[in-house]
């Protein structure tokens, strides 16, 4: 066509005919380029050529097909852009963004599999948010209540619900303070008692909870004192038993005095006093018994009466005198 126009120009064909031929040539060129652009799915070229075709006054089925192809490519481009936005929002796990995109996506035909994934993720994120709200409310209430067990459980739930690390850190700080206060109170209560094992256990927990070193040190010292006191008591009990077995009254009295001086406790003192008293009575009975038997052998009325009186006072008479009615 182009060579024919050139030949026509050489032989002086009228300008009108030449311009008409050039117009046909331009139309054919535009239509050929449109066909190629449609085949290549080149949106930008198609859009440009449609503009050129309209300027050239080309009214052809090919132009109509170009409009359809352009609309299809634009729809496809919009679909792909929206799908990318959804995928990126899914990666960010942004519930508000996903919800907004799903609303606006109603006008765009999206991939059905992707839509199912987005809806599933939205449901999951919504469930996680509800769980977070509940865990957050529980955490705030537990922090306000100041209950160690409740707060500890609430912190665990908050971690599972992925509540902000900053709020969990605040709760942990309150928990540590409560544990420290409780451990200190428990330790002081144990120190007020007299059980070394209770103090040891409480001191370990107090140290772990961060109770002041001064308080833990005093408790440890108290524990050692109680253990030493327990050792002295045990030694005193053994010594008392040995003195009683040996019927060593003076040793018993010395041990009693030592128990009082060392403040070994009412239990030890009362037991020592009882052992002293029992041994004194036993020794008095032995003396009275010997005096009574000696007086009986002497057959002296005054001596016998005196011996009987002493025997009655010592309680030995009931063992030595004959039962009434038996002579």
Report the C-alpha gap between 109 and 18 in whole angstroms. Answer: 49
Determine the pLDDT at residue 300.
65
Spell out a b/e string for 218-251, using b for 16 or more CB atoms within 10 Å of the CB, else e: ebbebbeebeebeebbeebbebbeebbeeeebeb
- Reply yes or no on whether the pLDDT at 43 is more than 90: no
The tens digit of pLDDT for each residue in 82-133 reads: 878 888 888 888 888 888 777 666 656 777 777 788 888 888 888 888 999 9
What is residue 325's predicted lDDT score, i.e. its pLDDT?
41
- Give the mean model confidence (pLDDT) for residues 234-257: 87
CA-based nearest residue to 178, from 207, 201, 149, 214: 149
pLDDT category, 218, cuts 50, 70, 90? Answer: very high
- Is residue 184 within 8 A of residue 156, CB to CB? The reply is no
| pLDDT tens per residue, range 247-266 | 888 888 888 888 888 888 88
Comparing 85 with 161, the larger pLDDT belongs to 161
Q: Provide the CA 81 distance to its chain's centre, in angstroms.
A: 44
Q: What is the pLDDT of residue 148?
A: 93
Token pair 């026509």: residue: 8
The pLDDT of residue 151 is above 70: yes
Asked whether residue 283 carries a pLDDT value surpassing 80, the answer given is yes
Does the pLDDT at position 183 exceed 90?
Answer: yes
Whether residue 304 has pLDDT greater than 70? no
Asked if pLDDT for residue 22 goes beyond 70, the answer is no
Rounded to whole angstroms, how far apart are CA atoms 252 and 282?
Answer: 14
CA atoms 248, 251, 256, 262: torsion sign: negative
Measured at the alpha carbon of residue 118, what is the angle toward residues 117 and 121, in degrees to the nearest 5?
A: 85
Mean pLDDT of the chain: 81
> Hey, what are 121's tokens?
């993720």
Closest CA to 64 of 79, 78, 54: 54
Q: Is the pLDDT of residue 177 over 90?
A: yes
Model confidence at 318: pLDDT above 60? no
- CA-angle at 104, arms to 99 and 109, nearest 5°: 110
295 has a pLDDT exceeding 80? no
For the chain, the structural domain boundaries read: 1-104, 111-163
Q: 312 pLDDT exceeds 80?
A: no
Q: pLDDT band at residue 180, thresholds of 50, 70 and 90?
A: very high
User: Measured between alpha carbons, how far is 38 from 70 in angstroms, rounded to an integer?
Assistant: 8
Closest C-alpha to 172, from 207, 211, 209? 209
Tokens 């006008």 — which residue?
107
Q: Between 1 and 284, whose confidence is greater?
A: 284
Question: pLDDT-derived band of residue 8, with 50, 70 and 90 as boundaries?
Answer: very low
* Lowest mean pLDDT, pick from 54-63, 157-166, 264-273: 54-63
DSSP per position, 191-224 = HHSS-HHHHHHHHHHHHHHT--HHHHHHHHHHHH
Q: What is the pLDDT of residue 9?
A: 45
């Amino acid at each position: 066509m182009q060579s024919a126009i050139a030949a026509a120009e050489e032989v002086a064909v009228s300008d009108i005919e030449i311009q008409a031929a050039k117009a046909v040539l331009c139309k054919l060129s535009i239509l050929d380029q449109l066909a190629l652009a449609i085949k290549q799915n080149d949106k930008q070229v198609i859009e440009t050529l449609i503009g050129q075709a309209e300027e050239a006054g080309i009214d052809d089925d090919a132009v109509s097909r170009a409009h359809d192809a352009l609309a299809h490519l634009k729809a496809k481009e919009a679909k792909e852009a929206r799908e990318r936005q959804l995928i990126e929002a899914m990666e960010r796990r942004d519930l508000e963004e996903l919800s907004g995109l799903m609303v606006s996506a109603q006008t765009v035909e999206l991939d059905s599999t992707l839509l199912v994934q987005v809806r599933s993720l939205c449901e999951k994120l919504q469930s996680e948010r509800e769980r977070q709200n509940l865990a957050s409310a529980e955490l705030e209430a537990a922090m306000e209540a100041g209950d160690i067990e409740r707060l500890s459980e609430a912190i665990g739930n908050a971690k599972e619900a992925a509540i902000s690390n900053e709020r969990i850190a605040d709760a942990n700080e309150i928990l540590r303070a409560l544990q420290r206060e409780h451990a200190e109170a428990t330790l002081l209560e144990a120190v007020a008692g007299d059980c070394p094992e209770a103090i040891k256990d409480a001191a370990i927990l107090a140290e772990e909870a961060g109770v002041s070193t001064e308080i833990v040190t005093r408790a440890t010292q108290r524990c050692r004192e109680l253990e030493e006191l327990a050792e002295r008591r045990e030694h005193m009990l053994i010594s008392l038993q040995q003195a009683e077995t040996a019927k060593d009254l003076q040793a018993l009295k010395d041990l009693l005095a030592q128990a009082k001086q060392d403040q070994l406790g009412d239990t030890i003192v009362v037991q020592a006093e009882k052992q002293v008293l029992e041994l004194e009575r036993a020794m008095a009975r032995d003396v009275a018994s010997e005096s009574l038997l000696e007086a009986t052998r002497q057959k002296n009325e005054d001596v016998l009466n005196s011996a009987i009186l002493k025997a009655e006072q010592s309680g030995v008479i009931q063992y030595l005198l004959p039962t009434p009615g038996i002579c």
